[in-house]
Amino acid sequence: MKRITVKEVEQKLDNGEKLNIIDVREVGEVATGKIPLAINIPLGLIEFKKQDLDKNENYIIVCRSGGRSAQAVAFLESYGYNVTNMDGGMMAWEGELEF
């Protein structure tokens, strides 16, 4: 499983890199703030939404602490998606939030 730190994600965003970030938390959790431009696909819906993702793109998967995102990464990897788990999740995020 590929992994990336919160600081690495923040640095990439600060450098203006276009990132595909998927937040797999529940809608109520995302309402408390998410990484700007991240799209919300709750973990329970990943199976049904995977066909909307491009296998040629890289996706950074985020949750509250890194556990659910690791599950999503393992699942998506098994279908050939290029995905990376953000270690520490939103509990470790110190960057800008979008509400």
The confidence band for 28, taking pLDDT boundaries of 50, 70 and 90, is: very high
pLDDT average, residue stretch 24-33 = 97
Q: What is the pLDDT of residues 44-65, one digit of tens each?
A: 999 999 999 999 999 999 999 9
DSSP letters spanning 58-73 = EEEEE-SSSHHHHHHH
Note if 63 is an active site residue: yes
CA distance 21 to 39: 6
**pLDDT score recorded for residue 97:** 96
Catalytic residue among 63, 70, 76, 83: 63
In a domain? residue 99: no
CATH number of the CATH domain containing 58: 3.40.250.10
pTM of the model: 0.97
In a domain? residue 98: no
Which range of residues forms the domain containing residue 26?
2-92
